[in-house]
Amino acid sequence: MTPLLLMFGFPIHIAIGTDLMYAGIAKSTGVFVHAKKGNVNWKIMGVMALGSLPSSLLTIWALSHYTASADYHHLLTSGLGFMLVITAVVIVFRKQLASSTEKTPAQKKRSLIYIFLAGLVLGSLVTLTSVGAGALGTALLMILFPYMSARNIVGTDLAHAVPLTLVAGLGHILLGNVDYSLLLALLTGSVPAIYFGTFVANYVPNKVLQPILATALMGFGVKYLFF
C-alpha cells in the first residue's frame, strides 16, 4: 500500500502513517473471526506484543523530537526500501522457512525469548515503514514455532499485527502524519476490492501470484533503498 500511495504523489510520512491506520482498522475484523475459531495463540501473541508495542511507542517518541517531518524523510525512505526487499525475500522463500520439526519444552521457552526480541525490532521497523507486520511476522512464527498449524500462525500473526499497526498509526496521528480523507477512501474502497481479490484468487494459482507480488515489492524496495 505505501509504495502505491507514493506513486500517487503522497508524501512518505503521510503514506506510512495513513497506511498504518488503514491496516489496523481493516484487519480488526479478521482477528475477531480467527479468535472465534480458536486460531490465535494468545500467549505467543502477548509475548511478541510485549516487545513490539513499547518499541513502537519509543520509535514515535524519537520521531517526535524532529522539528519537522521532512527531517526524517530519508530515514523513512531507506527503512521502507529495506523492509520491502526483506518482505519480498520472505515471500519467495516462505516454503523453505516452514518446518514440521517438533521442539522440546526448553526450546519452546527459548523461542518465546526470541519472539520477544524479534518483537522489539519489528515494532520499530513497522512504525518507521508500515511494512512487515504481516509477512515478516508470519515468517518469524514459522521459524520459531514450526509445530504451529498454518491457521494458527496466520491467526496469531494477525492478532499481533492489529494492535501494533493501531498503536503505530495513533502515534503517527500525533505526529500529524495521517490524511483522514485518504484513510476514509482506502477503507471505502477496500470492501469491494476484497471481494474482487477473493474472486480472482480462486482462478489464479498461488505460484503465479507470489512471484508477481515478490517482484513488485523487490522493485519498489531497491528503488527506495538506493535511489
What's the chain's Rg over C-alpha atoms?
17
**C-alpha–C-alpha distance, residues 204 and 202, integer Å:** 6
Q: Is 222 a domain residue?
A: yes
Q: Which of 110-124, 142-156, 163-177 has the lowest mean pLDDT?
A: 142-156
Residue 100 has pLDDT above 70, yes or no: no
SS (H, E, C) 72-95: HHHHHHHHHHHHHHHHHHHHHCHH
Q: Is 186 a domain residue?
A: no
Q: Is 184 a domain residue?
A: no
As a whole-number percent, the residues of the chain with pLDDT over 90 amount to 49
Per-residue pLDDT, 55: 97
List Cβ<8 Å contacts ≥24 apart for 148-151: 148/41, 151/34, 151/37, 151/39
Q: Is 58 a domain residue?
A: yes
Residue 102 has pLDDT above 70, yes or no: no
pLDDT digits over 47-70, tens only?
A: 999 999 999 999 999 999 997 888
Question: Which residues form the domain of 212?
Answer: 2-179+191-226
Give me the numbers of helices (H) and strands (E) for the chain, helices first please. Answer: 11, 0
Per-residue pLDDT, 98: 63
Total structural domains in the chain?
A: 1
Q: Is 185 a domain residue?
A: no
| Average pLDDT for the chain | 88
